[in-house]
Amino acid sequence: MKKAVYFAVVLVLVLTAAWAFAGGAAEERARIVNVASTFPGGSPQDAGLDLFAELIGERSNGRFEVIVHTGGAMGSERETYEQLSDGSVEFGAVGSNDISTFYPEYAVSEVPYIFTDIDQFWGYWNGPLGREIHDLQEANDNVRTLGVVLRGARYLTANRPIESVEDVRGLSIRLPPVEYWFAVWEHWGALPESIDFAEVYLALQTGTVEAQENPPETIVNYNFYEVQEYLIATEHIFSAARYQMSMDWFNRLSADDQDMFVQAMEEATAYANELTADGDEQFVRELVEEHGMTLIEVDQEEWAEAARPVLERLAAEEWDPDHYAGLLEL
């Protein structure tokens, strides 16, 4: 009898230990919080995410560990958004490709010469129009946007001087796969191609395309200056980075942990925007003075006027009319 009791006790202890180990392992896995970032390490967006990871580690007393996967290591913007929507990743850092892909009727904010200055950019993203898009995505796709970071104005780079819209005629240029961008550049006479971002450097190096366009921080961080000679200050789009979160994951957190994550991301967003407040000036100076690119200033009003017929057509045929009308009032 005593032997039977002994073995029973041992069995209970073993099972309890196994359960505790399994539960502990599950708890350990639950502490890992992945951030799928499409931006490079060393970028202002990445610096904001690094602060986010640091704040969460400190404020959770190590209960959560945030791991930032930079440079699109976990997928493209579309893939990142889809992972956020289905709950397979907790946080993401993207541009606006998710809007042009899934909500094209609202893809107005990043089209050439919609905005003419930073004040309009913030009036849009901090106002009811930006909120309208983010509310749609949260309601329909389970993805919440927690922060918007100004990446800066997009500049054209090329291996031949571009000083006017006329000079764009026949220019082979890599563009993101955004229909409306193609429409404007084709109207200008360019020959745009959709090339995966990871392949842009090689495409420029081999002459597959002559040109590309991105904010100066991207041109620096992806070393495009090594394969491009001219930096053309078209400033045709003011680009946004957006920190997003899976609501499927978020809704499983306690109220206190939810507050902790939201507050940390708000602070991370503010920090990243501090870094980009004069970011164009800083990165343009680096591209010219340190990396030898030739800066060309252009008449932006000429370029904006040349884009107007396309914008008017898109507004009439493609975009949500109320959304577009609200944007014109900014």
Burial-class residue 26 by CB neighbours within 10 Å (0-12, 13-18, 19+).
exposed
- Contact assessment for residue 106 and residue 133, using Cβ atoms and an 8 Å cutoff: yes
Tokens of 294: 């030739």
For 160-218, write each residue's pLDDT tens digit: 999 999 999 999 999 998 889 999 999 999 999 999 888 999 999 999 999 999 999 99
Question: For residue 194, what is the domain's CATH number?
Answer: 3.40.190.170
Distant-in-sequence, close-in-space partners of 139: CB < 8 Å, separation ≥ 6: none
- Contact assessment for residue 268 and residue 41, using Cβ atoms and an 8 Å cutoff: no
For 270-284, write each residue's pLDDT tens digit: 999 999 888 789 999
Supply φ then ψ for residue 146, to 5 degrees. Answer: -100, -20
For 239, half-sphere exposure in the C-beta direction (CA atoms, 13 angstrom radius) is 24
Torsion from C-alpha of 203, 195, 215, 246, nearest 10 degrees: -140
Q: Which residue has the higher pLDDT, 21 or 328?
A: 328
pLDDT band at 301 (very low <50, low <70, confident <90, very high): very high
- Nearest-angstrom CA–CA distance, 45 and 81: 17
Q: What's the rounded mean pLDDT across residues 218-231?
A: 96
pLDDT band at 16 (very low <50, low <70, confident <90, very high): very low
**Total of domains in the chain:** 1
pLDDT band at 5 (very low <50, low <70, confident <90, very high): very low
For 96-105, write each residue's pLDDT tens digit: 989 999 999 9
- The pTM of the full predicted model, rounded to 2 decimals, is 0.84
User: DSSP 3-state assignment of 39?
Assistant: coil
pLDDT of residue 8: 42
Domain with 82 in it: 2-328
For 22-54, write each residue's pLDDT tens digit: 444 444 544 899 999 999 998 999 999 999 999
Q: Return the percentage of the chain with pLDDT > 70, whole number.
A: 91
Please tell me what DSSP assigns to residue 95. Answer: -
- Nearest-angstrom CA–CA distance, 323 and 127: 12
In Å, how far are 50, 60, 147 from 242, measured between CA atoms? 15, 24, 6
Mean pLDDT (the chain) is 91
Q: Euclidean distance between the first and final Cα of the chain, in Å?
A: 85
Q: What's the rounded mean pLDDT across residues 308-329?
A: 92
- Contact assessment for residue 209 and residue 173, using Cβ atoms and an 8 Å cutoff: yes
